[in-house]
Amino acid sequence: MAKKITVELCMGSSCFARGNSEILQAVENYISEKDLADQVELVGHLCLGKCNQGPNLRIDGTDYSAISPEEAISCIARALEE
Indicate yes or no: pTM above 0.75: yes
Pairing status of strand 40-45 against strand 62-65: unpaired
Whether the predicted pLDDT of 2 surpasses 80 = no
pLDDT for the residue numbered 1: 64
**Cα→Cα distances 59→24, 42, 65, Å:** 14, 9, 11
